């Protein structure tokens, strides 16, 4: 049986390392991405991590097919962006280098928080364990956001203030509604943009049907872009990437392939929205 759940992951700080720079300064992705989510899920389920070179860890081989959707949330999130700070460390112990003190600068996310949507197949043992642990706010290993100095957590139930405003949303479950997406819609999560926007503007005169890109029908306040890892390339042992977007604008019908979209309805509040799981 397939079920869709969401949980809100919080941390005081986070560091989601970009592998493309390894000197002077280490940079972070702004958005949580699927390979990182899978690691966090592995910690929750208690699966083994990386142990050997050229061998994918237990968590990755078992969980990689779970469709994942991500939405940035929380007080640190401004139009999809989190504030970042550069922290500089020294390592004077002398273990990491031989020619004096090692100095490392690291870009850090401040107050990162993400709503993570998962489509779980409860017929599979690992996904059933994951489902139980997430709903009970339990994890075999304590999850963290990129570095173990930044522990991460979620809440199983809504945390409210005295005026009944929800401060932290708990774990939610959703029904999937039948939908062919032949109308203009908003997408709550980050989604894969198939083609550069500039190209589609040029193509407009060529009577293109724009089936491989999104078009905005109703402008909101922002459109956010980031190139993010989608999975590991299992031959090259490196990330495979896609261009992701996030917007509060309404997209024209047919902007995104309908098979990647889900029309969800929260089981209790009956609230409906559209997400993309990848």
Residues at the contact surface with other proteins, assessed by CB under 8 A: 10-13, 48-49, 51, 83-85, 87-89, 92-96, 98, 110, 133, 136-144, 148-151, 153-155, 157
Nearer to other proteins, 163 or 182 (CB): 163
Nearer to other proteins, 22 or 92 (CB): 92
Give the DSSP H or E segment for 135: helix 125-136
Minimal distance, residue 65 CB to other proteins, in Å: 24
Q: Interhelix angle for 34-45 vs 125-136, to 10°?
A: 80
Minimal distance, residue 168 CB to other proteins, in Å: 8
Half-sphere exposure in the Cβ direction for 172 (13 Å, CA): 21
Q: Of 189, 174, 140, 150, which Cα lies nearest the Cα of 42?
A: 140
Can you tell me the distance from the alpha carbon of 70 to that of 266, in angstroms, rounded to the nearest whole number? Answer: 16
Nearer to other proteins, 45 or 274 (CB): 45
Can you tell me the distance from the alpha carbon of 59 to that of 44, in angstroms, rounded to the nearest whole number? Answer: 10
Can you tell me the distance from the alpha carbon of 15 to that of 50, in angstroms, rounded to the nearest whole number? Answer: 18
Nearer to other proteins, 32 or 171 (CB): 171
Minimal distance, residue 107 CB to other proteins, in Å: 11
Minimal distance, residue 153 CB to other proteins, in Å: 4
Q: What are phi and psi of 60, to 5 degrees?
A: -70, -45
Minimal distance, residue 136 CB to other proteins, in Å: 8
Nearer to other proteins, 121 or 149 (CB): 149
């Amino acid at each position: 049986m397939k079920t869709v759940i969401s949980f809100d992951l919080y941390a005081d700080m986070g560091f989601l390392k970009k592998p493309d720079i390894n000197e002077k300064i280490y940079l972070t992705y702004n958005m949580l991405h699927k390979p990182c989510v899978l690691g966090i899920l592995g910690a929750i389920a208690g699966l083994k991590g990386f142990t050997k070179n050229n061998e994918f860890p237990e968590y990755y081989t078992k969980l990689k097919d779970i469709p994942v959707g991500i939405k940035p949330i929380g007080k640190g999130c401004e139009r999809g962006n989190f504030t970042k700070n550069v922290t500089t460390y020294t390592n004077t112990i002398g273990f990491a280098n031989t020619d004096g003190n090692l100095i490392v600068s690291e870009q850090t996310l401040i107050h990162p928080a993400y709503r993570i949507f998962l489509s779980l197949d409860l017929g599979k043992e690992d996904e059933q364990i994951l489902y139980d642990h997430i709903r009970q706010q339990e994890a075999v290993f304590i999850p963290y956001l990129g570095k173990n100095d930044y522990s991460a957590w979620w809440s199983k139930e809504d945390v409210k203030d005295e005026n009944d405003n929800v401060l932290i949303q708990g774990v939610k479950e959703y029904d999937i509604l039948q939908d062919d997406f032949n109308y203009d819609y908003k997408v709550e999560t980050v989604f894969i943009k198939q083609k550069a926007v500039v190209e589609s503007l040029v193509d407009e005169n060529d009577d293109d049907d724009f089936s491989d890109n999104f078009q905005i029908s109703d402008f909101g306040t922002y459109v956010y872009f980031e190139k993010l890892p989608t999975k590991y390339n299992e031959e090259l042992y490196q990330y495979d990437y896609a261009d992701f977007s996030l917007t509060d604008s309404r997209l024209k019908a047919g902007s995104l392939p309908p098979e990647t979209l889900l029309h969800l309805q929260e089981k209790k509040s009956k609230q409906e929205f559209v997400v993309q799981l990848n």
